[in-house]
């Protein structure tokens, strides 16, 4: 299986733990987690170069859309695929997230048994 470096960003400890468990079911995944948009920027500044960023939409302080804007300003991540993760996934909201630059949206609650496969499928569908 192709190696896949993922940065997962979510302010909820429980969700980060479940996502880590789920993503690490795929032995080719290298995962870094961050508890906020600002922490995600720090991980990137430390030199972690993810193949994809899973980004919670609703977080205190720097929310997902705000974090995405700042991530896109970094030349190293200007084109890194970002997938939003949110419970708010009505079709109009999903369209808005895509207009902001997200590749796609994974709806919470997600199925932990197929989360890594879902991420890979989204990337494959986009040709990433």
- Verdict on whether the full-model pTM lies above 0.85: yes
Q: Is the pLDDT of residue 127 over 90?
A: no
Distances (CA, A) of 21 to 27, 47, 59: 11, 23, 21
User: For the residues 93-118, what does the mean pLDDT come to?
Assistant: 94
| Separation between Cα atoms, residue 49 and residue 34, nearest integer Å | 14
Which range of residues forms the domain containing residue 62?
A: 4-125
Residue-wise pLDDT for 19-56, tens only, equals: 999 999 999 999 999 999 999 999 999 999 999 999 99
Residue-wise pLDDT for 57-100, tens only, equals: 999 999 999 999 999 999 999 999 999 999 877 778 889 999 99
Phi first, then psi, for residue 90 (nearest 5°) are -70, 155
Whole-number pLDDT of residue 128 = 59
CATH number for position 9:
3.40.50.2300
């Amino acid at each position: 299986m192709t190696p896949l470096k993922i940065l997962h960003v979510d302010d909820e400890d429980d969700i980060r733990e479940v996502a880590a468990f789920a993503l690490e079911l795929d032995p080719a995944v290298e995962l870094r987690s961050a508890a906020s948009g600002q922490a995600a920027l720090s991980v990137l500044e430390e030199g972690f170069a993810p193949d994809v960023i899973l980004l919670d939409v609703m977080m205190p302080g720097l929310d997902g859309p705000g974090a995405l804007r700042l991530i896109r300003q970094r030349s190293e991540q200007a084109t890194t695929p970002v997938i939003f993760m949110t419970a708010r996934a009505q079709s109009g909201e999903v369209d808005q997230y895509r207009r902001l630059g997200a590749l796609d949206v994974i709806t919470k609650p997600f199925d932990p048994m197929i989360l890594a496969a879902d991420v890979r499928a989204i990337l494959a569908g986009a040709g990433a």
